[in-house]
Amino acid sequence: MISRLAGLKYIGLTCCFLALAACSRKDQPNLDAGMNNAPGVGQAAPGSKADFATNVGDRVFFLNNQTDLSPEANDTLTKQANWLKQYGQVTVQVEGHADERGTREYNIALSARRATATRNFLIQQGVQANRISSIAYGKERPVALCDAEQCWSQNRRAVTVITGGTN
Amino acid sequence: MIKLFRALLIFMVVALSANHALAVNGTVTSGKIDPLPIAITPFIANAGSENDAAAISGVIANDLARSGYFSPLAPESFIEKITSFDQTPNFASWSQAKAQALVMGNVTGSGDKITVAFKLYDVNTQAFLGGSSFTAPSKLSRRLAHKVADLIYNKITGFAPYFDTRIVYVDETGPKNARIKKLAMMDQDGFNPRILSNGKEILLTPRFSPTTQEITYSAIGSDSSRVYIYNIDTGQKEIVGDFKNMSFAPRFSPDGQKVIMSLESDDGRNANIYELDLRSRQTRQITNEPSINTAPCYSPDGSRIAFESDRGGSQQIYVMGADGSNQQRVSFGNGAYSTPVWSPDGKYLAFTKQSDGGFGIGIMNVDGSGERILTEGFHNEGPTWSPNSRVVMFFRDTRGETGGAQLWSVDISGYNEQQVPTADFASDPAWSPLLK
């Protein structure tokens, strides 16, 4: 029952967060977009991959050609760090990604910077460095394919992928 | 007439050179010439070689047509039938068929060997311009055809040959959000494609060694991006260098003894250019900047390196000494410039340019002057040079979930855009030197 309540509290936080995001700068992506495939809230077992993706948020987004973390990204990553501190056996790989509107080699380096900024933030929040690896995918793995800003903004992302320690 | 044709070509080259001083951001608007009508007569074949002969004359016609400088005439328009390789052509008849140049050929198969001989004539002056004979194993008959086409192209245009070459590239299959990207290689005209990797890693930016025996590329695996060298004969691959940080964007030095590439910095925020000596295995850092420095490419003499850097805030092209000395920005037009590739003759840098016009492919003098955009649109990227510095190949991406990258080539005049046929989507082409 306690954990159920904790889950509800997270739902509340997520809703506030989305509402805030919706009225932030217009070039910010819809933060809901990355979670389309996640199971419904309430179905995720606490500490599971689904819990992380649904109730915490597994990804942050970047402005065009930028690698700085936005206030929204800081919020998401603070929640990620708290979750990772709560489930101390979990290991993650931070994937850096770029949109398709850049050249291949540069986007590899740009996406590495995004992964690094994300990983460093998690470490600063107290997650042990040896639990977080990172990888740069450049523009090779877009998630949204409409060839317009509304999709490119979803592709400029860093995704924290759970690699071990939970289901 | 062929002399006039060649004079026009020379004039065009001079005109293009003159443009350098004037055009800064111009698209090429001059320099188009009409292709030369050429009759490639059905090659004479000994018994059993008829199919080879037909295929060979087809390859020659295709090469010459794709160059943009020739217009092979339809065989139905031929009046005279060539029945012997020793026949003296009736030039009046070929002139009447509108041919300005005439090719006769002879194909002799013997065991597993094949011999191709040809003669090239100027129809109007009736002059014999040249001829030659090549012998090779039968399975290399297409290469013999490319060699004949190379000689015809060279005799008539005066340009160095480039048909007997290969392209290494990335074969792309699967959905756009999960592309399978494999190492692939084919002849310059899109034939004989071979897939050389299994698709488990995301394979990027393959480049030939100067001998065309090896390919260096980068691949994103499950934990990092690494640079590899693949040996075409043995099928073996090895990791280049023992780096804990990500490595990418490799290219061979002109002598084949070194690989230049980008390495991610220890703090994960920057990328700098390093050179690895393949014999001594010594690594040397060449740039040391708090920025992204990548896509390095040696000058043909190995004395300089062109690369891109965002040290000034946006991607721009820089040139430096091969030891990292004297790093100078050379691109100053409106937009971001990247992926510089030095032309084999040393005169130009080809590049990708992002601007309001989208993604274009252009060339500029090595000092950044004389910029010319050869093609522009939604997404063109990653140029590579033909070994005679006349043709630039690149990839063009198309929109939408079902869109994808395809290979194209364009003459440095900006004319004669041609798609290079590939079975799947294809990207990151790199042209080989002329094959030995």
Structure tokens, B140: 């290399």
**Distance in angstroms between the alpha carbons of the first and the last residue of chain A:** 22
Residue pair B109/B46 in contact (Cβ under 8 Å)? The answer is yes
Report the distance separating Cα B405 and Cα B282, nearest Å. Answer: 37
Report the distance separating Cα B204 and Cα B183, nearest Å. Answer: 8
Binned at pLDDT 50, 70 and 90, residue A5 comes out as very low
The answer on pLDDT for B20 being more than 80 is no
The answer on pLDDT for A8 being more than 50 is no
Nearest by Cα to B262 from A140, A7, A110, A48: A110
Interface of B with A in 354-413 (CB under 8 A): 354, 378-379, 381-382, 397, 399-401, 403
Instruction: Go through the domains of chain A in sequence order and give each one's CATH number.
Output: 2-164 (3.30.1330.60)
pLDDT in tens, B156-215: 999 999 999 999 999 999 999 999 999 999 999 999 999 999 999 999 999 999 999 999
pLDDT in tens, A107-161: 999 999 999 999 999 999 999 999 999 999 999 999 999 999 999 999 999 999 9
Instruction: Give yes or no for B295 touching A (CB within 8 A).
Output: yes
Give the angle subtended at the CA of B250 by the CAs of A68 and B301, to the nearest 5°. 125
Residue in chain B closest to A145 (alpha carbons) equals B401
Phi and psi of B199, rounded to 5°? 85, 0
Binned at pLDDT 50, 70 and 90, residue B30 comes out as very low
Instruction: Go through the domains of chain B in sequence order and give each one's CATH number.
Output: 34-157 (3.40.50.10070), 166-431 (2.120.10.30)
Tell me what the mean pLDDT of segment B210-228 comes to: 96
- A113 contacts B295? CB cut-off 8 A: no
Report the distance separating Cα B176 and Cα B404, nearest Å. Answer: 8
pLDDT in tens, A66-109: 999 999 999 999 999 999 999 999 999 999 999 999 999 999 99
Distance from the B234 Cα atom to the nearest Cα atom in chain A, whole angstroms: 28
Report the distance separating Cα B33 and Cα B120, nearest Å. Answer: 21
Residue pair B291/B269 in contact (Cβ under 8 Å)? The answer is no
The answer on pLDDT for B19 being more than 50 is no
Chain A environment of B354 (Cβ under 8 Å): 101-103
From B181, B264, B315, residue closest to A112, measured CB to CB? B264
Please give the pLDDT value at position B7.
72
Which own/partner pairs from B285-288 qualify as long-range (CB within 8 Å, at least 24 positions apart)? B285/B324, B286/B260, B286/B320, B286/B322, B286/B323, B286/B324, B287/B320, B287/B324, B287/B327, B288/B324
Distance from the B264 Cα atom to the nearest Cα atom in chain A, whole angstroms: 7
Give the angle subtended at the CA of A14 by the CAs of A13 and A19, to the nearest 5°. 100
Q: Which residues pair with B283 in a beta bridge?
A: B276
Chain A environment of B271 (Cβ under 8 Å): 108-109, 112
pLDDT in tens, B344-369: 999 999 999 999 879 999 999 999 99
H-run or E-run covering B6: helix B2-22
Per-residue DSSP letter, B98: T
Binned at pLDDT 50, 70 and 90, residue B12 comes out as low
Nearest by Cα to A111 from B316, B271, B401: B271
- A101 contacts B354? CB cut-off 8 A: yes
Distance from the A7 Cα atom to the nearest Cα atom in chain B, whole angstroms: 32
Q: Which residues pair with B204 in a beta bridge?
A: B218
- A103 contacts B271? CB cut-off 8 A: no
Nearest by Cα to B38 from B94, B119, B107, B106: B94
- DSSP letters of chain A? -HHHHHHHHHHHHHHHHHHHHHTS-TTS--TTGGGTTSPPTTSSPTTSHHHIIIII-SEEE--TT--SPPHHHHHHHHHHHHHHHHSTT-EEEEEE---SSS-HHHHHHHHHHHHHHHHHHHHHTT--GGGEEEEE-TTS--S--SSSHHHHHHHSEEEEEEEES--
For chain B, the residue count is 436
Q: How far is CA A111 from the centre of its chain?
A: 14
Q: Report helix, strand or coil for B129.
A: strand
From A93, A103, A141, residue closest to B381, measured CB to CB? A103
The answer on pLDDT for A28 being more than 60 is no
- A112 contacts B294? CB cut-off 8 A: no
Structure tokens, A16: 């506030």
Q: Which residues pair with B215 in a beta bridge?
A: B208, B230
Q: Report helix, strand or coil for B287.
A: coil
Please give the pLDDT value at position B198.
96
Interface of B with A in 315-354 (CB under 8 A): 315, 338-339, 352, 354
Please give the pLDDT value at position A76.
98
Distance from the B271 Cα atom to the nearest Cα atom in chain A, whole angstroms: 6
Which residue in the block uniquely carries the two structure tokens 């260098």? B241
The answer on pLDDT for A56 being more than 90 is yes
Binned at pLDDT 50, 70 and 90, residue B115 comes out as very high
Residue pair B140/B393 in contact (Cβ under 8 Å)? The answer is no
Report the distance separating Cα B303 and Cα B323, nearest Å. Answer: 8
Q: 3-state DSSP: chain B helix, strand, coil percent, rounded to 5?
A: 15, 45, 40
Chain A environment of B379 (Cβ under 8 Å): 100
Structure tokens, B244: 């804990």
Tell me what the mean pLDDT of segment B16-31 comes to: 39
- DSSP letters of B178-226? G-EEEEEEEETTS-S-EE-S-SSSEEEEEEE-TTSSEEEEEEE-SS-EE
pTM of structure = 0.90
